[in-house]
Amino acid sequence: MTRDPDHSSPQHSRDPAGHDDSREAFPLDPAQHRALADARRAAGDELGAVAHLIAAHTLDAYASGAADATAANLCDVATGYFMKGDHEIAAAWYELVLTLDPNLAIACQNLAAIHAGAGRTAAADAWRERAYRLQRVFVEQAPGHTRRVLLLCAGRASGNVPFDALLPGAINCRIKYAVDYADEAEDAQLPSFDLVFNAIGEPDVAAPLAARLERFTSSLKSNPAARSARALLNPPAGVARTARHRIPALLGDLHDVQVAQCIRVDTAPASPEALAAMLADSGIALPVLARPAAAHGGEGLVRCDDLSALLTRLRNYEAGPQYLTAYRDTRSADGYYRKYRMIFVDREPFPYHLAISPHWMVHYFSAEMEGHAWKLDEERRFLEDPAAALGERALQAIAAIGRRLELDYAGIDFTLLPDGQVFVFEANATMLAHYERSTGALAHKNPFVQHIVDAFERLLKRRTAVE
């Protein structure tokens, strides 16, 4: 039953749902780990050697029945590999950790992230369920932190604001609260916090939790852990207004802003005629973009050019409710599609990126930006001077969108139409902003990411200032 990162013998393991994922496991014999440590050191892998020695000491402690036996150091080994991106090795270490301590929630939580990243959805769901049944509050303590931020998160699904860059651990003690798993009595037992950031930024994920979130936010004034009841960022009611089918009404009347009509469909119409009537009543003409609720990054997104294809999609797709959006060809004069992203911090817009693609479904990761110097040059010009790239007219429209969204953190994906108007693809709080490798082809983005992070830090300081 051994597994070494380079030479191993297999042992299949199972996730909490009982699915065999053909994973291999590290040994439970301390002597084997000492031998593996020697082998790793001989191969020049000092990190691997130390990891196996920690495993040997941990297993010795458990075998001897020591009162202070703990898998915490071994969990740190797993997390080190996880943070490095060596996810399969990290998973094997986490599974050894959970063999010793089945109740270590952080190991379950990170295993869920590893499985989700590898597309093993069922295993990810099972580990996530186990993690949040064990623990709802995760405190990431930072020595010398400036403030304590309570992050309201959804444990059952994705849809949380990507906050790692926004809230650097060096200065923020992050208290993650899986509120969808927590009983209301737990609200009053939270560690003390200076500010609440509602990180449930996806309206479709937040909707079933609306009553729970409302009760939590209403009780902030009396919550003994809250140091300031006024410091609530991204109130749930503001997030709810950004559901895809609500954006046309929310932003459509702004000057120089255009938004495609969009409706939410929970049940497929009974006939092509009923579907045609539904579209007509909503002012939507074919082609139509169909996407699952709570989906981002093009997941499950298709373009349906006729009623038959659209009805088939609505009847056969099993992911639940879907959004139907009128398709608009937004190709630029050079034949390419462009998607700009700007981030709003306290309603102020900051440029984040520009993706340029030959395909109508534009995403940065599939646009091959790194392979074309001219694309990166154009993106750089946008980042350095959005007004010159877009025009003052468009920039004023974007600023108006930020004010209308009325969120402390949000973002907008859009393109520029030939007449200078802004065409909105989506606007919500789940927009990702993260640093790139400092030595990579996208390193030019990092100073502009820093502008966003600095603006968010200024916001935090304002909202937690003693009055």
Q: How far apart are CA 229 and CA 438, in angstroms?
A: 39
Tell me how far CA of residue 297 lies from CA of 85, 301, 365, in angstroms. Answer: 21, 9, 9
pLDDT, residue 444, reads 95
Residues 230-239: tens digit of each pLDDT: 689 999 999 9
Exposure on the CB side of residue 237, measured as CA atoms within 13 A: 7
For residues 31 and 24, the model is more confident at 31
Q: How far apart are CA 75 and CA 103, in angstroms?
A: 12
Query: Are the C-beta atoms of residues 293 and 321 closer than 8 Å to each other?
Result: yes
pLDDT, residue 24, reads 58
Query: Token match 């969009």: residue?
Result: 262
Clarify whether residues 348 and 450 are in a common domain: yes
Confirm whether 366 is domain-assigned.
yes
Please state the domain count of the chain.
4
Residues 154-184: tens digit of each pLDDT: 987 677 898 989 999 889 999 999 999 999 9
Q: Domain containing 123 — which CATH number?
A: 1.25.40.10
Domain extent for 273: 261-326
Clarify whether residues 292 and 345 are in a common domain: no
Clarify whether residues 352 and 447 are in a common domain: yes
Q: Domain containing 318 — which CATH number?
A: 3.30.1490.20
Q: How confident is the model at residue 296 (pLDDT cuts 50, 70, 90)?
A: confident
Clarify whether residues 315 and 214 are in a common domain: no
Clarify whether residues 394 and 354 are in a common domain: yes
pLDDT, residue 299, reads 82
Bridge partners for 302 per DSSP: 290
Q: How confident is the model at residue 397 (pLDDT cuts 50, 70, 90)?
A: very high
Residues 71-121: tens digit of each pLDDT: 999 999 999 999 889 999 999 999 999 999 999 999 998 999 899 888 888
Confirm whether 209 is domain-assigned.
yes
- Measured in degrees and rounded to the nearest 5, phi and psi for residue 101 equal -135, 90
Clarify whether residues 285 and 363 are in a common domain: no
Clarify whether residues 344 and 460 are in a common domain: yes
Confirm whether 307 is domain-assigned.
yes
- β-strands 322-326, 288-292: how paired? antiparallel
Mean pLDDT across the chain, nearest whole number? 90
* Helix H or strand E segment including 60: helix 46-63
**Which range has the worst mean pLDDT, 34-48, 212-226, 391-405?**
212-226
- Mean per-residue pLDDT, 396-408: 97
Clarify whether residues 155 and 123 are in a common domain: no
Clarify whether residues 388 and 298 are in a common domain: no
- Mean per-residue pLDDT, 23-47: 90
Q: Above 80 in pLDDT, residue 403?
A: yes
- Among 276, 302, 326, the domain-final residue is 326
Confirm whether 230 is domain-assigned.
yes
Q: Above 50 in pLDDT, residue 277?
A: yes
Confirm whether 359 is domain-assigned.
yes
